[in-house]
Structures are given as C-alpha cells and as structure tokens.
Structure 1
C-alpha cells in the first residue's frame, strides 16, 4: 500500500521511526513533513495527506502530532475523510474494520515508539469488511454530503 505519513515538530522523531517501520512492512511511505524539529503548524500537513487520500494518490494516511487530536480534527475537515485518533491496538484495528478510516492519528506526547509501531501494524493489517458497519458509514457519509450541498451544517 501507499501510505502518507506526516507530523508536526512535536512528533518529528516518532514520524521518522514509524515511516521506517512502514517501509519495513513492505509498504511505500510517502513523507509529507515536517522534515525537522523546526516549529510547523499541523493543519497544512493534515489537509494535504487527507486531500491526497481522497484523490486516490494514497491508500491510507498516518498523522502524528503532540496528542493526535488536532491532526484528526484537521483531516476530518476534508470531505469524504474518516480519521480516527488511535492510542491502542484495538482502536487502530476497529478504525479500519468498523469505520473504514482512511487515516489514523497518534500523539507523540501520549505513546512511545514501540506502541506506535504496533498501532501502525494493526491498522495496516486489516481491511474494512462492510456489513452492519458499512450501513453506519453510509449514514455518516450521506449526512456529510447533505451538509456540503446545503453549504453549511447549522
């Protein structure tokens, strides 16, 4: 799979470790930055990875910031994206199996390197199965399309 990976400065070192781990699993890891510990705002990185996922340039994405929260919120602003914050293996599996999340996020200030690798592997080793979960995802995406057609949500 072609996996986009990105971070802010808080997660630069963890991103580098996860990127190499992804390659070791046999996937293509496309690095969207940041490329040093110099301060950078995460929304641009999240928007670019999410946009490239929706355009079909990437199959999935992994985004890392201090907590994983901001990256997930930013990625979820891109239409048709489902991003899930994951800090344990079970959540990473369910993000894909139950929610067909194209992106997961993690927090470098929350988890360490070895857990990040386990989460990454769990997420990349499963595929969405549809079923009852598919019906729920369809409902979520239908509501998103409705909001987009209205031009606002409220």
Structure 2
C-alpha cells in the first residue's frame, strides 16, 4: 500500500507542478510582452528550450501514474469520469504544439528586431488558457471520482 500512496502523491504533485508552471510562465510572458526585445527573446528561448520539454514530461507521466493508481485501487476502467478524463488527454498535444509554435514565431519576430503583433500575443495567451482549462477539467474529474 505504500507504493500506492507514493504514486498518488507524485501524480498529484506532477499535476500541480504542471498547472502552476503553465500559469507562472503565462503571467511572466504576459508581463514581459512590452519589455525590451532581447529580454523577452531570452525569456521565450528559455521557456521553449527548458520549460516546455519539462512540461511535456510531466504531462506524459500523468496517464502512466494514473493508470497505476487505477490498477492498484482496483477501479474499473469503464467508469464515466475516468473515460472522460482519458478522452481529454489527446487534446493536450495539438494545443501544446500550437502554443510552442506560437512562442517560436514570437521569438523569431523578436530576433528580427520587430515587435510581435497583438494578435500573436493574444493567441499565445489563448493556447495557454486552453491548456490550463484542460488541466483543470481533468483534475476536477479526478477529484470528483466516487471513490
């Protein structure tokens, strides 16, 4: 039973780290959007090279640890809350790629010493908010389980 508790804590910690990380990066980039171009470009580069791959690893760990939790708790995988949360998982991939691509375009615009358009900044915020909404929805389904 000690493994169950350990995996449960790690699973919850990964979900919280992912949500807080996305939220903090969103606030950081939104506040720095009108800063000097080289400062913002470094922040975008750091986000794309370090943070996004770490977020992807955290995201990939969630279904694996979640499966182990369901397996050890002997939960049937046909429960509606579990099926809905599993159906939400593939939606993270396209929105994550859209966010990464948008941040890459933003970084390239700054490298050319131009100002990013307001539309591009808003789309980066929209993709981030969609990812956060998906995370909150999945977490709400996990927290509202009948067990």
Please give the range of the TM-score, normalised by the shorter of the 2 chains. under 0.3
TM-score, normalising length: structure 2 = 0.26
Bigger helix fraction: 2
Larger Rg: 2
Kindly indicate whether structure 1 or structure 2 has the higher relative contact order, using CA contacts under 8 Å at least 6 residues apart: 2
Larger fraction in strand: 1
